[in-house]
Amino acid sequence: MQAVLILLALIAPAQCSSEGANPIRKVVTLMQNMQKEIEAEGAKEKELFEKFMCYCSGGTGTLKKAIADGNAAIEELTAKLKSETAEKASTAQELIGHKKDRESATADIEEATMLRGKEEAAYSAEKADSETNIAAMAKAIPALEKGMGGAALLQMPGTNNLKHIIESYNNVDEQDRRDALAFLEQSSDYAPQSGQIVGILKAMKDDMEAELKEAIAAEEKAVAGFADLKASKEKEIEMASEAIETKTARAGELAVSVVQTQDALEDAKTEVADSTKFLATLEKDCGTKEKEMAVRAEQRATEVAAISDAIGILNDDDALDVFKKAMPSVLVQTTGFLQKTGNAASGASKAQAIIAAMAQKTKSVDLKLLLFSLNSKIKQKGGLDDVVKMIDDMVVLLGKTNADDEKQKTWCEEEFEKSADEEAATKTKLAQTDATLAELTDAISTLMEEIATLQTSISDLDKSVADATNQRKAEHAEYVEGMQLNEVALGLVEKAKNRLQKFYNPTLYKAAPKTERTMEQKIIDAGTFAQIRRTAVAPPPAPEMPSGDVAKSSKSAGVIGMMDTIIKDLGSDMKEMEFEEKTASSDYAELMADSQAERAASVTALTGKTKTKAETEASMMTAKETRSATSTDLKQVQTVIADLHVSCDFIMQNFDLRKEARNNEIEGLKNAKAVLSGASFSF
């Protein structure tokens, strides 16, 4: 490169001298401008590189933070999912326990009610029996105090069971029992031992009254205990029902939350995976760009150093002295490289003139170098064989240069065509990639809308199921209550009707079904006092009573008919309620099955669309990478085309002119050679 610069300085055209400028200084100035342009370009590239590295640093930090946040979210969502899953299972078990508690409390109330009914019936029978016995004692004691005998006493109204009472009463001395029975069995109206019998009966009456009082107190205590037990169990049922409603609602909320948490967890994992992949790609690209920049900076520094060295060589004082001493004509020649002489032109001078004219026209460095050599030979009066050889070499070189230009032109044309095809193919691929990206973006937007719609649909469906469940519970409770009320009403109306029939239509009366008496009742019946004739004691006068037959009401038929209508209506209502309950229950079961199937389908669709979205996003990331690579390829192709224009435009545009000039130059060189071949140095 230095030799070329020196030759350019030595063989600069005469017009430089005519302008009064130093060619060496022009070359140095040109190289200095080149150095400034290279340094400015390096500064721009450095600025761009610093911005890119800032992007790398910021992007890496942002991605690392996103990955850390995503991992934290994954841990949090995983823990939340485990907690909610465990709570859901626990809630399901608690619901089972609450339902069992409610069923147990209900069964306890039913059992306690049944036992209370038996106890109440036993108490009522015992109370009635005790009151009857006490009343009999209360009548017998005054009669005995007046001196009435046992046989007469038994004939009094209300005292006919006195003997049975004494025989069956347990809390009495056996001797007193025998004395009392012996007294009652005697037929005399007066007995001396009646005073003793009165004492025995009074003692028995006091014991009976005390036992009755204790029985009443025990019954009241039992009633209070049953009320407390019933209130406690009803409270348990109420609390269990409230717990069931609360836990059922919570179970539904947990089911929805579990699905949402699973979706959020999958999204977080996908985001972390995408961020990790992009971070690895970014770090790789940043490292590659950093290495490329280091190579470019090194190359640019080497180029600047070479230019600086060349400038230093040309600017050196010793070099300038050499130029002045060796070739002073470079700075002072005004008529070209022709040697001034007063002698007649010889063959060498003619050849010199031919070559000088050609050099002036073509500005060829080689011709100027040939002219310089010819001038030197003429000055030294030496042989011209070297010059002739140089001419032959130049002719060969020019021919080779023509061939090289032909080859270069063909190559340029082929490369331009090839690069154009590559550019068109790359642009087509880039357009296809852009279309694919647009389609993927639209697909992701559509999927996001569909996912949001499905999530809203599942949430609305869960709410509808909960509302339907609450409504079904309320309807069932209303049905049970209505059926119970109708059954009670129906029983009351039928009972009232049967009672009227007993009076108005005895043939239609339905007696209460007979029940098998217990062994205890049979024993009591077996020990009952026998019916004994009444005594001849005249009863008190009877009050005046209405006489004649009782007239039956003529409205009874209408009343009974209305009762029949009521019974029929109640039966119809109950059948209608049963039908409605069955229909509602069937509809509810069908609704639950349909809702469950719909929810399962929605969840399946949601899972599928979420998976499709992730796959589409992965495809979109791949398409973006493909677009980036394609864009890079397009820039590279365009760079190649630009480089081709730099290296080929001159040859393509000036090929014919250069070929013609070289042919003329070859012709001139041949003429000069012919002249030199017959030249002589005799002046």
DSSP state of 206: H
Q: Which of 73-77, 558-562, 647-651 has the lowest mean pLDDT?
A: 558-562
Phi/psi of residue 147, nearest 5 degrees: 100, 15
pLDDT of residue 63: 83
- Is this structure's pTM higher than 0.95? no
Strand partners, 337: 335
pLDDT beyond 80 at 491: no
Residue type, 197: I
- Helix 194-315 to helix 23-145 angle (10° resolution) is 180
Read off the tokens for 150: 């046992």
User: Residue 335 pairs with which residues in a beta bridge?
Assistant: 337
Give the pLDDT confidence score for residue 645 in this predicted structure.
Answer: 84
Residue 10 pLDDT? 40
Mean of pLDDT over the chain: 75
Residue 322, pLDDT score: 56
pLDDT reported for residue 546: 41
CB-CB neighbours of 229 under 10 Å? 15
User: What span, in angstroms and rounded, lies between the C-alpha atoms of 20 and 332?
Assistant: 9
pLDDT at 351 over 60: yes
Give the count of beta carbons closer than 10 Å to the beta carbon of residue 458: 20
Position 512, amino acid: A
Does the pLDDT at position 503 exceed 70? no
pLDDT of 338 over the 50 cut? no
277 residue type, one letter: K
pLDDT given at position 545: 39
Q: Closest Cα partner for 171 from 133, 120, 221, 218? A: 133
CA distance linking residue 110 with residue 506, whole number of Å: 37
Tokens of 195: 């005073």
Check residues 271 and 510 and name the one with the higher pLDDT.
271
Q: How confident is residue 352, by pLDDT bands cut at 50, 70 and 90?
A: low
pLDDT higher than threshold 80 for residue 196: no
Q: What is the pLDDT of residue 548?
A: 40
Task: Please give the pLDDT value at position 524.
Answer: 44
Q: Contact at 8 Å (CB) between 133 and 212? A: no
Residue 342 clears pLDDT 70, i.e. is over it: no
Query: Would the pLDDT of 14 be above 50?
Result: no
268-312 per-position pLDDT tens digit: 889 889 888 888 887 788 888 888 888 888 877 877 777 777 777
How confident is the model over 20-72, as pLDDT tens digits? 445 556 666 767 777 787 788 888 888 888 887 787 877 788 888 888 888 99
Contacts of residue 57, Cβ cutoff 8 Å, sequence gap at least 6 = none
Q: What number is the average pLDDT over the span 557-576?
A: 78
pLDDT at 15: 39
Phi–psi pair at 644, nearest 5 degrees: -65, -40
pLDDT at 229 over 60: yes
Largest CA distance in the chain: 214
Helix (H, G, I), strand (E, B) or coil at 27: helix
3-state secondary structure 479-503: HHHHHHHHHHHHHHHHHHHHHHHHH
Compute the chain's Rg from CA coordinates: 66
Tell me how far apart the alpha carbons of residues 474 and 492 are, in angstroms, rounded to a whole number. Answer: 27
13, pLDDT greater than 60: no
Q: Tell me, what DSSP letter sits at residue 261?
A: H
CA dist 642 and 672 (Å) reads 42
What is the arithmetic mean of pLDDT over 349-365? Answer: 70
Q: What is the mean pLDDT of residues 518-540?
A: 42
Share of the chain above pLDDT 70, in %: 73
| Mean pLDDT lowest among 335-344, 416-425, 575-584, 611-620 | 335-344
pLDDT digit string, tens, across residues 390-437:
777 878 877 888 888 788 778 888 888 888 888 888 889 888 888 988
Please give the structure tokens belonging to residue 352: 């010199």
Write down the pLDDT at residue 245. 86
pLDDT band at 1 (very low <50, low <70, confident <90, very high): very low
Of residues 504 and 570, which shows the higher confidence score?
Answer: 570
User: Residue 625 in contact with residue 440, Cβ under 8 Å?
Assistant: no
Q: Name the residue among 563, 665, 36 with its Cα closest to residue 354.
A: 665
pLDDT > 90 in the chain, percent = 0
Return the pLDDT at 383: 65
Can you list the positions of beta strands (E) in 205-305? Answer: none
pLDDT, one tens digit per residue, over 80-103 is 888 888 988 888 888 898 888 888
Average pLDDT over residues 542-564: 53
Select from 227, 146, 129, 239 the least CA-distant residue to 528.
129
Q: What is the pLDDT of residues 430-483, one digit of tens each?
A: 888 889 888 889 888 898 888 988 888 888 888 888 888 888 888 888 888 888
Q: Which long-range contacts (CB under 8 A, 24 or more apart) does 156-161 make?
A: 156/535, 156/537, 157/534, 157/539, 160/529, 160/531, 160/532, 161/132, 161/133, 161/136, 161/528, 161/529
pLDDT of residue 298: 82
**Tokens describing residue 292:** 């490329």
pLDDT over 50 (residue 527)? no
318 pLDDT band, cuts 50/70/90, is low
DSSP, collapsed to helix, strand or coil, labels residue 522 as helix
pLDDT on residue 623: 87
378 burial level (CB within 10 Å; 0-12, 13-18, 19+): buried
